[in-house]
Structure 1
Amino acid sequence: MESNNTNNRPDNVILNKQSKYTLSSTQLKTIFEYLQNHTATASMVSEATGIPQKSICRYKRDLEKRGLLCELRKEFCKLTKFRAWYLTTNPDLFPKSNQMELFPL
């Protein structure tokens, strides 16, 4: 019979798991809040926040799936000079839907 006692685990294993979770949620919150006030590419967000660009792309996908982030336009990035999507989490800037609205009968 196994014990559920967590005192046998090394402290650094517990701390690493907690730190990784905290780091991820902090990065997500930082990206979300930055894009509330700025329209920027992933590279520009990375430069401004210090979060790796690859992480921003992963969080971008998660925020898009939840409907919290929108790609506004594809233009040349001011930082990289390559074409990239400008992003926002500000719902006031989201494009309006092209689909017809259903009218109640």
Structure 2
Amino acid sequence: MPKESPNLAKDFYTIVYEIVEQIPFGRVTTYGAIANAIGSKKSSRLVGIAMNHSHEIAPNLPAHRVVNRSGILTGQHHFLGEKSMIKLLTDEGLTIENNHVQQFEHIFWDPLNEL
């Protein structure tokens, strides 16, 4: 399997981060919705990897607003201490129960329709 070009990865991450920057306060989106919005529908896992690296590359990115397709906080182990994913989301007025965003369908932000 050929190695991924560093420039390709950077470009993909940059595009993902540009979308994540636009997620409104108090709303969430999904890895798959971001992948779909950039025309790479099957790349939701790569979006997840980009989000994992965002803490190093773009530390002020609202990465906590990206959840899985069911509204579950699958990336929460990347948010530590005072910046826990649950705390960041509840500070924005969202309700989280059992690591799941409540009323997910009402606060879901679809970049394909919103941008």
TM range (shorter): 0.3 to 0.5
Identify, as 1 or 2, the structure richer in strand.
Answer: 1
TM-score (norm 1): 0.40
The structure with more radius of gyration: 1
- Structure possessing the higher relative contact order (Cα contacts under 8 Å, 6 or more residues apart): 2
